[in-house]
Structure 1
Amino acid sequence: MKLEAIDYLAKDAAQQFVESLHQIGFGVLKNHPIDQNLVEAIYKEWHEFFNSEEKHSFKFNAESQDGFFPAEISETAKGYTVKDIKEYFHVYPWGQIPESLRENILKYYELANKFAAELLSWIEEHSPKEVAELYTEALSNMVKDSTQSLLRVLHYPPMTGDEEAGAIRAAAHEDINLLTVLPAANEPGLQVQDKDGSWVDVPSDFGNIIINIGDMLQEASGGYFPSTSHRVINPEGMDKTKSRISLPLFQHPRPEVVLSDNYTAHEYLMERLKELGVI
């Protein structure tokens, strides 16, 4: 398996992209409409925030799940007992956000959600007829007016050598949502698992954007689009002393959306959050 960047401006971009999602669960796009200057500004602003004491003034709300999640309560991936080496901030337009960071992060939230909705339209257009018939409504409509889509600002701190044995920045996991959109940041470490169990590096060239299928779309498509395991491994050499900011947007449908005969979006989300130990 090899992941290669697809030109968003190419005539057959949608078809290439959807085929990549079907085969691998991941797609990488270049020449996309997300403003890279905005992304760079956000990386800089939030790097300063995570290195300040201000972050502790925005402790997360247990019920609404917005705000700052410190490293000591970081997620433990399903099937693992060791917490990931990361801290993060959950951004929702209705949630708590540091005032000095509000403008750029909400601008990005809007752009990324609009882009993700377009990609969902691509997916529906190029789904086989028997798969498209499984969708209870248009995929792009599932996220229309949703207040559940989560922008997570992740901070992977520098490695100190005191990390718990077996801990990595993000253990192998699948995402819960419909579609995840992640701008590449010129930092290696993100890997996707091939069908043979081997791990493949995801292209991290700055300017690319990485998209992967979440469990909810796998459920809604009857498994046609796979929610593929991925992880973020620890850096080597001098890169160990560097921190890393990551900006995944987890696009979620409205809670009442019916994914399949087995789940609504809300039911699926609650089940997975309990498995993760978040609630």
Structure 2
Amino acid sequence: MDIAAIPVLSLTDDPASFSAAIGASFRNFGFAMVRDHGIDADLIARGWELNKAFFALPEEEKRRYYKAEIFGQRGYTPFKTEIAKGADRHDLKEFWHVGRDLAPGSALADSMPANVWPDRPEGFHEVFSALYAAFDAAGATILSRIAVHLGLDAHWFDPEIAEGNSILRLLHYPPIEGATDGAIRAGAHEDINLITLLLGAEEAGLELLAKDGTWKSVAVPPGAMVINIGDMLQRLTNHVLPSTTHRVRNPDAQRAAHSRYSMPFFLHLRSDFWFKTFPQCVSAENPDRYPVSITADDYLNERLREIGLKK
């Protein structure tokens, strides 16, 4: 399979140059790759260790942290619960969600559940709270560069994501054993949020759907992150920045006995944010696709129903 020719950018580059380069990459692929993102390598390594340690726990113990009433938004979600929008087979994965800790009495508490923390492995709470904060900061910097590319003030998004419903997802795709009933590890989908920051996984499998209709592999250099556009930013930009379909393919036979672990960070808007298409992204050739405004929370809940987490 061909490898997508996504450029690898450095967050230490001149901000104006970075803004132009990431904008071009997003317009071409819906994806970019970024190194020198500022997240501590030792913290990331500890996160991988604890990710693996948690999912190695007995199934009964993990299910103690499954809270069906909050629709998978915090804590544990069991294997084969989530399904890609429009798919007929559930994804072959289990995951854990870490969200934002709100200040007591926050007006957003009704739309953002409190975090759930496991008793073990030791250090889970501390490490993933720190990783969440680090991803949040890196994502805000990258989003500020995207804002400049769109002709906005660099700080335009700051108040809209300051209490955003962002999620750090810890993912485990177990080894593939026997028939998978037509499913793949993660079915073809687009992310709902503004942007996704994804640390490179040890096992291959991430693929994007190119403009020519072919699937291309995403090869992430060591230490870099994959960044992709989500549906919320696609909506705000009237599809000028596209939310590209992607999937996680089942492994080749020789790798089928190996687990795949991943840690995406889904950067979200505040729950009470109202969508209004950026006027600079509307033209006679590209009329406004979204004249009716809805809130970010409405949009999120619509997608949760589509992917089977909310009934």
After TM superposition, the score normalised by the length of structure 1 is: 0.91
What is the correspondence of 1:52-201 to structure 2 with a 5 Å cutoff? Answer: 52-53=57-58, 54-63=61-70, 65-72=73-80, 74-92=81-99, 93=101, 94-99=114-119, 100=122, 101-127=124-150, 129=151, 132=152, 138-146=156-164, 148-164=165-181, 166-201=182-217
The 8 Å contact of residues 185 and 205 in structure 1, kept in 2 or not, is answered as: no
How many angstroms apart in 2 are the aligned matches of 1:13 and 1:138? 17
Q: Which runs of 5+ in 1 are unaligned?
A: none
* Residues 241-272 of structure 1: per-residue CA shift (max 9 Å, x gap): 11111111111111111122432111111211
Identify the match of residue 230 of structure 1 among 246, 249, 255: 246
Tell me the amino acid that sits aligned with residue 89 of structure 2.
Answer: V
Conservation of the 8 A alpha-carbon contact between 1:61 and 1:67? no
Name the aligned partner's letter for residue 154 of structure 1: L
Equivalent residue for 1:243, pick from 233, 249, 259:
259
What is the aligned residue count?
270
Separation of aligned partners in 2, 1:50 and 1:162: 22
Structure 2 unmatched runs, 5+: 102-113, 277-291
Task: Report the counterpart of residue 269 of structure 2 in structure 1.
Answer: 253
Q: Which moved more, 1:265-274 or 1:101-110?
A: 265-274
Equivalent residue, structure 1, for 2:297: 266
Q: Which runs of 4+ in 1 moved over 3 A?
A: none
Matched residue type, 1:189: G
CA contact under 8 A between 2:18 and 2:145: conserved in structure 1? no
Asked if the contact 1:188–1:204 (Cα under 8 Å) also holds between the matched residues in 2, the reply is: no
CA contact (8 A) 1:181 1:209 kept: yes
Question: Structure 1 stretch 184-193 or stretch 1-10: which is displaced more?
Answer: 1-10
Distance in 2 of aligned mates of 1:224 and 1:139: 17
- Structure 1 residue 57: Cα displacement: 1.9
Give the letter for the 1:9 counterpart.
Answer: T
Following the alignment from structure 1 to structure 2, what is the Cα–Cα distance between the partners of residues 222 and 214? 12
Residue 7 of structure 1 corresponds to: 10
- Note if contact 1:152-1:249 (Cα within 8 Å) is conserved in structure 2: yes
Matched with 2:279 is: none
Amino acid in structure 2 at the alignment position of 1:159: I
Q: Secondary structure at the match of 2:298?
A: helix
Which secondary structure does the structure 2 equivalent of 1:71 belong to?
Answer: coil
Aligned-residue sequence identity (percent) comes to 36
User: How far apart are 1:4 and its partner, in Å?
Assistant: 2.5
Assess if the C-alpha contact under 8 Å between 1:2 and 1:200 holds in 2.
Answer: no
**TM, length-normalised to structure 2:** 0.82
> Separation in 2 of the partners of 1:61 and 1:151?
18
Q: Which of 32, 37, 61 in structure 2 is aligned with 1:32? A: 37
Distance apart, 1:103 and its partner CA = 0.6
Distance 1:196 1:86 in 2: 29
State which structure, 1 or 2, has the greater radius of gyration over its C-alpha atoms. 2
Matched position secondary structure for 1:211: strand
Distance across 1 between alignment mates of 2:240 and 2:295: 19
- Provide the alpha-carbon RMSD of the alignment: 1.8
How far is the alpha carbon of 1:153 from its aligned partner? Answer: 0.6
SS at match of 2:212: coil
Preserved CA contact (<8 Å) 1:66 1:89: yes
Partner of 1:275: 306
Task: Look up the match of 2:108.
Answer: none
Q: Answer whether contact 1:186 1:205 (CA < 8 A) is retained.
A: no
Output one character per residue of 1:70-122: Cα deviation in whole Å (capped at 9) or x when no partner: 114x2111111100100011112431012421011110000001110111110
